[in-house]
Amino acid sequence: MTMLRLALLLALALAAPAFAAPVSFTVLSPDDYQSFVGNWKPDSAPLCAAIDSAARWNAVLHPAAVMGAHKPFAPAPSFWASRMVLLLARVTPAGGEGAFTAPSVAGAGRTLTVSYTFKPPPPASSTIKWYLALAVPKTAPTSVVFQENGHTVCSLRPASGAWLSPAAAGR
């Protein structure tokens, strides 16, 4: 009987789904860099990206050269050797600061899940493109899932080349 129990426990352990483990991250504020998110269509949907290089950063974010402050346009080249950025952008009423809160990243197998809350600002006379960007350790995820207020809003498959959604992103 003991061997049967041991075999059963082993079978259950092998069949059990992988539990998500927390992944460390750093929030990159839109104020950290002198850049803006390019346009995408439809802009009523979120833009999601798994950015693992300077080239991909430049495909999504564009330099905003202005007089006055001289912040960098992007992370330093050395950043990309060990980190990647998981980015979600939305068009919101002006005053988007604080619209994204309580971010977390979890990994299960080769899937990263970004969870956060989103509360749009009150209506305003103009809109802005505001984003949540999280720098995580560089991995080769098979998929990246963005969950907003408990619901999946984007799924990416960077290992298959689908690192940006919407794929065309108005480019």
Considering the domain boundaries, does residue 6 fall inside one? no
The Cα 23–Cα 127 span in angstroms is 32
Q: Residue 8 has what pLDDT? A: 40
- Please tell me the predicted confidence (pLDDT) of residue 15: 36
15: Cα separation from own chain's centroid: 29
**What is the residue range of 130's domain?**
19-165
The C-alpha atoms of residue 113 and residue 144 are separated, in whole angstroms, by: 6
| pLDDT tens series, the chain, 171 aa | 455 444 444 343 333 345 789 999 999 998 899 999 999 999 999 999 999 999 999 999 999 887 677 888 999 999 999 999 999 999 999 987 889 999 999 999 999 999 999 999 999 999 999 999 999 999 989 999 999 999 999 999 999 999 999 966 555
Any domain includes 170: no
Residue in 170, 163, 167, 171 with CA at minimum distance from that of residue 50: 163
Q: Is residue 88 part of a domain?
A: yes
What are the helix (H) ranges across 51-95? Answer: 54-60, 79-82
**42 found inside a domain:** yes
What is the pLDDT, as a whole number, of residue 18? 58
What is residue 2's predicted lDDT score, i.e. its pLDDT?
55
> Whose CA is closest to 86, among 51, 39, 46?
51
| pTM to 2 decimal places | 0.86
Q: Round to whole Å and give the CA distance between 154 and 87.
A: 11
* Domain annotation covers residue 146: yes
* 33 domain-assigned: yes
Tokens of 165: 């959604």
State residue 168's pLDDT score: 60
Residue 102, domain member (yes or no):
yes
DSSP 8-state class, residue 45: S
Query: Is residue 111 in a domain?
Result: yes
C-alpha distances in Å from residue 36, one per residue of 74, 112, 113, 129 = 10, 25, 24, 8
- Which pLDDT score is estimated for 67? 65
In the chain, the number of structural domains is 1
